[in-house]
Structure 1
Amino acid sequence: MDIHRLHTGEAEALIAAKGAELQSLRLGGHDLLWEAGPLWPRHAPLLFPIVGRVKGDTLRHGGKAFPIPRHGFARDRDFTLIEGTTTTCTAELRDDEATRAAYPFPFLLRVAYTLTGTSLRMDLALRNPGEAPLPASLGLHPAFRWPLAPGLAKATHRLVFEADEPGALHRLDTDGLLDPAPRPTPIQNRLLPLDEGLFREDALIFLEPRSRSLSFEAEGGPGLELRWEGFPHLGIWAKPDPGPAFLCLEPWEGHADPADWNGDFVAKPGAFTLPPGATRRWNLTITLTADS
């Protein structure tokens, strides 16, 4: 599998072997995913086994140091297609000598996509095939076109959250680590009007969002609903730019190392631990809502 095409009616999704990454999503005649242009060369990378950066780009475990890049290695590894139809596909990544040089644990990660006429669902499962606990983080990083359709003004776009979000906002410091100092949320009455200025200090990070869904919409254009399960954190990110650009809506379980934290990876804030033989699951559904 280099590229697997899912299609039904007007709906189409392209899934790459590299990173099991969603590369294109067309629903209702709208191309919704960022085209991976020079501004940012990815579409929707999978973040595993870390989300964000670990301090010094070094995973520390059992008194040893393992170099690992921001967001981990899964996004740059070839997954194996184990099942594929016109509307579904499942791919997997297993540990090997190369992964264990950065992340010294056995694992089996599966990613499945299901396309309908108006939505794409992504199911993820991580199994611990080893005999010791498996610490990990996992996150999604889909980038949607902003504006959502040609001719729309970027300033007409907004996010509408499922619930009120009075909790604190967090930012990253200049080293890409989590600034532990909380800031006031920019979300008011479930609404976040979108403006490039929101992202001059990098991502908006919500460690305890109440919502498990949100809508990305614009006056006079299409809208998207994202609904997720299993992810307790949420990141929102864009690169400020006056030209065509993207908005990343990112459910996570895990986040960058806090700037004031040092420790073994098994105790990393925000990460989870799987017992031997256990499996953990997450999902995300992207649905086209009616044009405004």
Structure 2
Amino acid sequence: MTDPITITSGNLTARIDPLGAELVSLREADGRELMTSADPAHWTGHAPLLFPIVGRLNGDVLRLDGREYPMKQHGFARRLEWEVLGAGEDAVTFVLRDSATTRETYPFAFDLAVLYELEGTTLTTTVRVGNTGPEDLPFSFGFHPAFAWPLPFGQPRDEHRITFEREEGPEVVRLEGGLIATQVPSPLQVRDLPLSDALFTNDALVWAPVASQEVTYGAAEGPRLRIAFPDTPYLGIWTQPGAQFVCIEPWHGHADPAGFSGDFRTKPGVITLPPGDEWRCTMRVTLEA
């Protein structure tokens, strides 16, 4: 296995593991860690890339043309070694292509690339999905970054909040067994989500759809993070009660609705990419004073 690759802008330093092309560390200039410590008592992930599904499928099975393929939660991209295409001081690119292994559970040809790039106090992650096969490519993609809660700037955990760019609808989606289940009243206070363990007793909160295309995260005093996700239809926010992280997850797709057993191509939230075409998405994380 290849060692993690480090990139820096001087203001931020990031480490990315070729296993899953996963961001495993993001530190500011003084060395303070902005990401989760990945405490195994709660969750060992840092910022997995979710492909070709987001969330769970009903029965952990992908149904396609009358056949069933095993598919674990959030897909296989996070569990595979990616190839390093190029690396410099402030940027690195990884690629994952279909193989005999991936085609056992996902019978499609694809080319999935991710570029991590640091500039000043911003980390930009750009994802490209290419359809290299002869038929339409159905897929979903999601980001799953876990940020330190509290952030390492001396403010209490219970004073942290997530502020949405826009006012959202009156309801959010609750998951049951990892599947899209019921809508419940939104916990937003206008545009603010004060963070507490009680919010996540019953799994993630999901905005489907989400109107905002960025949020800010942090305490009222001290530096905060601005997470921008242009042209993104869904947003999940999740942690485990008592854990020292919060995941802010821009999604292009979501889990199966409870009871859904249709063909994967007809699943709500699935993107269909014609042969030879490419699809892109971006997430930017900025440290603001």
TM-score w.r.t. length of structure 1: 0.95
The question of 1:143 aligning with 2:146 is answered yes
Whole-Å separation in 2 of the counterparts to 1:204 and 1:196: 12
Offset of residue 37 of structure 1: 1.4
In structure 2, the gaps of 5 or more residues are none
Offset of residue 187 of structure 1: 1.1
CA distances 1:212-251 after superposition (whole Å, capped 9, x unpaired): 000001133320000012321000001001xx51000000
Offset of residue 154 of structure 1: 1.2
1:167 and 1:136, CA in 2 relative to 1: closer, same or farther beyond 3 A? farther
Q: Secondary structure at the match of 2:265?
A: helix
CA contact (8 A) 2:142 2:250 kept: yes
Q: Where do residues 190-205 of structure 1 align in structure 2 (5 Å cutoff)?
A: 190-205=191-206
Q: Secondary structure at the match of 1:22?
A: strand
Q: Secondary structure at the match of 2:73?
A: coil
Comparing 45-54 with 185-194, greater Cα deviation is found at: 185-194
Whole-Å separation in 1 of the counterparts to 2:83 and 2:267: 29
CA contact (8 A) 2:140 2:253 kept: yes
The question of 1:122 aligning with 2:125 is answered yes
2:73: which partner in 1?
A: 70
Offset of residue 256 of structure 1: 0.7
Q: Where do residues 78-157 of structure 1 align in structure 2 (5 Å cutoff)?
A: 78-149=81-152, 151-157=154-160
- Matched to 2:239, the amino acid is A
CA contact (8 A) 2:4 2:16 kept: yes
Whole-Å separation in 2 of the counterparts to 1:123 and 1:61: 29
Offset of residue 152 of structure 1: 2.5
Whole-Å separation in 2 of the counterparts to 1:91 and 1:232: 25
RMSD: 1.2
- Matched to 2:21, the amino acid is A
Q: Secondary structure at the match of 1:169?
A: strand
Q: Secondary structure at the match of 2:179?
A: coil
1:40: which partner in 2?
A: 43
Offset of residue 69 of structure 1: 0.6
CA contact (8 A) 2:153 2:223 kept: no
Whole-Å separation in 2 of the counterparts to 1:223 and 1:150: 9
Whole-Å separation in 2 of the counterparts to 1:25 and 1:31: 6
CA distances 1:2-30 after superposition (whole Å, capped 9, x unpaired): 21110122420001100000010012433
Count of residue pairs the alignment pairs up: 286
CA contact (8 A) 1:226 1:287 kept: yes
2:285: which partner in 1?
A: 286
1:252: which partner in 2?
A: 251
- Matched to 2:272, the amino acid is T
Q: Secondary structure at the match of 1:155?
A: helix
CA contact (8 A) 1:53 1:177 kept: yes
1:228: which partner in 2?
A: 229
Q: Where do residues 231-242 of structure 1 align in structure 2 (5 Å cutoff)?
A: 231-241=232-242
2:269: which partner in 1?
A: 270
Q: Secondary structure at the match of 2:104?
A: helix
Whole-Å separation in 2 of the counterparts to 1:127 and 1:150: 40
Whole-Å separation in 2 of the counterparts to 1:92 and 1:206: 30
